[in-house]
Amino acid sequence: MKHVFAVCLLVVAVAAPAFAQSSDKKAVQDSVERFLLSLGDHEFDKVAADLAPKAIVIIARERDGAWSNSFQTGDEWIAALKKNPNPATFREPLTNVVVTIDSDRLAYLRADFQIMREGKAVSHGVDHFTLVRDPPGGRWPLSHSHRFRLAVERPADPPPGR
């Protein structure tokens, strides 16, 4: 009987952290998806609230065969977003999401994405987010976001007369 109890106790001790990590991974993914939904809806105060103090946003994008990189603090990025007089509403569904949590404090999310406007993909790439738990057991603000973005290939115009 003692052996059965010891084995059950061992199973509970080993399985409990796995269940906790699974709910933490969901919380991290939910934080990122809420951030992207607010961003797509131009709710910039909510976007700013989802960023950690001194967050950094890095975007590497390819346009017309040339790559460029931008580096901004979260505050600079939010200010630039607010200056856009006609922002386009979009959705950014994530696929192939991988969440890693280290020491219950630091989380990393990597996912493929597509930017969708009016039901059409306009770009795609890979998102990377680093989140730091604030305070222990609390929310997961984004401290670092970087992505590489590729334009969606447009089909060539058909030859005249077709």
Using pLDDT thresholds of 50, 70 and 90, give the confidence band for residue 104: confident
Domain ranges (residues) in the chain: 2-151
Indicate the fold that domain 2-151 takes in CATH.
Answer: Nuclear Transport Factor 2; Chain: A, (3.10.450)
> 99 or 123: whose pLDDT is higher?
99
* Contact assessment for residue 61 and residue 68, using Cβ atoms and an 8 Å cutoff: yes
* pLDDT at residue number 158: 52
Count of helix runs (H) and strand runs (E) in the chain: 3, 6
Q: What single-letter DSSP state applies at residue 157? A: P
Q: Is the pLDDT of residue 19 over 60?
A: no
The listed range with the strongest mean pLDDT (3-7, 21-25, 72-76) is: 72-76
pLDDT in tens, 134-155: 876 688 998 988 877 776 665 4
